[in-house]
Amino acid sequence: MTSSSPAAIPVPPPAAAREAYGPALVKLADAGHDIVALDADLSASTGGNKLAASHPDRWFTVGAAEQNMISIAAGLASTGKTVYAASFAVFMPGHCFDQIRVQIAQQRMNVKLIASHGGISVGEDGASAQAIEDLALMTSLPGMNVVVPSDAVEADWAIRRAAEDNEPWYIRLGRPKLPIIHLDESISRFELGHAERIREGDDLTLIACGLMVEPTIRAADALADEGVGARVLNMASIKPLDEEAVIQAAQQTGAIVCAEEHNVIGGLGSAVARTLAAHCPVPMEQVGIEDRFGQSGPWTALLQEYGLTAESVAVAAKRALARK
Amino acid sequence: MTTSTVTAADTSALLDVCKRIRRHIVEMTHAAQSGHPGGSLSATEIFAALYFGGVARHDPANPQWGRRDRVILSKGHATPVVYATLAEAGYFDREVIPTFRALGTELQGHVVRNKPPGVEMSGGALGMGLSFAVGIALGHQLDGLADDEGQIFVVVGDGELNEGQNWEAIMSASHFGLHRITAIVDRNHFQNDGPGDEIMRIDPVGDKWAAFGWGVQHVDGHDVEAVRDAMLTARARSDAPQVVICETVKGRGVSFMAENPAGWHGKGPSDEQLAQALEEIDGGLT
Ligand SMILES: Cc1ncc(C[n+]2csc(CCOP(=O)(O)OP(=O)(O)O)c2C)c(N)n1
Ligand SMILES: [Mg+2]
């Protein structure tokens, strides 16, 4: 790894987390990993078609049949392959939860579920296409690793890191092009079960994942202007959760805000609340989707409508501080 | 290098194995006072032929042998016939059989992969076995196994064929040209709630598989030689996936079960019923 001074790093153009998948697969196959990737008639959107082009023998599409895809993935894994299966987060796990439960999780198969188009930021397609409950489903499965990268760089790290073990993973990727947060690989890399500390602060801690990390950093900067020191944790690894980082944050800063593009029930906030309740209860506020379904609209307008903004995080921070 | 250590049993030995498997089935469901005897008794000849008739190449001393054939119970509730067969084949000690469904046992109510060794797939949720087989067959193709190595035999229920995922798998197996897969339908005409024709009709079931590009054979599922020969024929084909539709009776071998299949989908016999069942089983199929 080369380390260069941050000033020398050109700011890359915004990219969607999902764009990392195809190139990551190709890198893995080029490096000689015994991977096989499956798609279910959405390979142009997931990026799986990149592997189809570069290593056609390593890629299969099963057509629009997600249940079949998941059980096929399990069968392939039983022959010793590292299997990636990709679809949209509404269809996988939404359309094949029992197959994931019995054949991937209970059998502890070496299958990496890559769910693109997670959350409401899918936009115009509306409620049926917007996964707001996938993290609840996936974190409830024993042995399943659940990861929500914050940008395309972290997504690339996570997708390739998953190939290094034999465990089942669920990686949720987003559709919109977002600013790159991870500008320099030498600064910090994705690690399963480890929070990434992005801002230091002692007054409270903001914990975010996925598309909410960038606005949460902006919220921290705005709070800093008002003299509030907000620590920021990027919690891409929701399961296993970095409980130590959560407990430390509670002990050292005394208040927590969680921010995620998911129902406030069953996602990052629930996981953090469970840890706080057991080890160090402090005031906690959530920014997320308040138990309602999505709808059509431009993704930026939807984030406003559902309160998934830097302003919402800052307001929640003040609520949490007032309860300290 | 390991090869299949199992040599084919002759007909009288096969009939004997069927009796022993049936005895285990009624004894273990009696011991547990639960479990699924009906759909295990109907599949007895299928499992006897697979493991003892020289159909599946396997090695009880080396269950993970890489070039073995895979036998998959897709209708994962019929564990009694699987455990009975694996015990008879030497995969685990017969003494363990009475622990079926007890706390801490390897012999779980529904199939769990590698518990005991020889069980290839976890199940219990209907409809997943054929897809799993498609995955194995793709893996074997990538690994360059010879045409007659790594065959996959999947036992599916007739009621199970109500599940749409089967048809996704059936479509994809022929699309991918996976000749290593042989499906075996236990066509016992009953499902959980009653007769299949009343609950959800699947006929003409053979035509449906054929329309999806599979080779189809129909056979008397309680004629163990016929079942064996049909599966050997299917095994030898390398042009398309194959299905053997076994015409069976749910509860076969135990009169009061065969006469009331709907009542014996999922429950264990009483002491008196067990005694009668064992006596009838020892007499052989009539
Ligand atoms: C997905 C799913 N739905 C429902 C059940 C409950 N169930 C268990 S067995 C059964 C009927 C199966 O009928 P069939 O495949 O004909 O089995 P057999 O007659 O051989 O016992 C049902 C509905 C299940 N196990 N899985
Ligand atoms: Mg049946």
What number is the average pLDDT over the span B6-33? Answer: 95
| Beta bridge partner(s), residue A35 | A82
Residue B211 has pLDDT above 50, yes or no: yes
Separation of alpha carbons A187 and A210, rounded Å = 19
Contact between B138 and A36 using a beta-carbon 8 Å cutoff: yes
Q: Nearest CB to A99: which of B128, B140, B176?
A: B128
Percent of chain B with pLDDT over 70: 98
Q: What would the pLDDT profile of A155-171 be if each residue is shown by its tens digit? A: 999 999 999 999 999 99
Identity (one letter) of the amino acid at B3? T
| Beta bridge partner(s), residue B75 | none
Amino acid A254: pLDDT: 98
| Alpha-carbon gap: A98 to the closest alpha carbon of chain B (Å) | 8
* A101 Ramachandran zone, left/alpha/beta (phi>0; psi -120 to 50): alpha
Q: Smallest Cα–Cα separation from B174: which of A68, A36, A77?
A: A68
Amino acid A184: pLDDT: 76
Structure ipTM over 0.90, yes or no: yes
Q: What is the DSSP letter of A119?
A: B
Q: What would the pLDDT profile of B273-283 be if each residue is shown by its tens digit? A: 999 999 999 99
Give the pLDDT band of residue A187 (cuts 50, 70, 90).
low
Rg (CA), chain A: 19
Q: Smallest Cα–Cα separation from A83: which of A166, A17, A23?
A: A166
Amino acid B213: pLDDT: 98
Total-model pTM: 0.95
Percent of chain A with pLDDT over 70: 96
Best residue in A68, A97, A100 for a mutation probing chain B (most B CBs within 10 Å): A68
Amino acid A188: pLDDT: 66
Q: Which residue has the tokens 């690989």?
A: A185
The ligand with the least distance to the CA atom of B42 is: 1
- CB contact residues (below 8 A), chain B span 256-275, against chain A: none
Give the pLDDT band of residue A11 (cuts 50, 70, 90).
confident
Residue A4 has pLDDT above 50, yes or no: no
Average pLDDT of chain B, as a whole number: 96
Q: Smallest Cα–Cα separation from B153: which of B210, B68, B220?
A: B68
What number is the average pLDDT over the span A220-240? Answer: 98
Contact between B131 and A106 using a beta-carbon 8 Å cutoff: no
Q: What is the DSSP letter of B7?
A: P
Structural domains in chain A, CATH included, are: 17-172 (3.40.50.970), 196-322 (3.40.50.920)
Residue A71 has pLDDT above 80, yes or no: yes
Separation of alpha carbons A187 and A244, rounded Å = 21
Amino acid B1: pLDDT: 39
Best residue in A72, A83, A109, A166 for a mutation probing chain B (most B CBs within 10 Å): A72
Q: Of A66, A154, A214, A285, which one is the catalytic site residue?
A: A66
Amino acid A136: pLDDT: 98
Q: Does B108 touch chain A (CB under 8 A)?
A: no
Amino acid A10: pLDDT: 74
Alpha carbon nearest to ligand 1 atom 9, residue: B192
Give the pLDDT band of residue A47 (cuts 50, 70, 90).
very high
Residues from chain A that touch B137, judged by Cβ atoms under 8 A, are 75
8 A C-beta contact, residue B130 and residue B163: no
Q: What would the pLDDT profile of B108-139 be if each residue is shown by its tens digit? A: 999 999 999 999 999 999 999 999 999 999 99
- Which tokens belong to B1? 């290098």
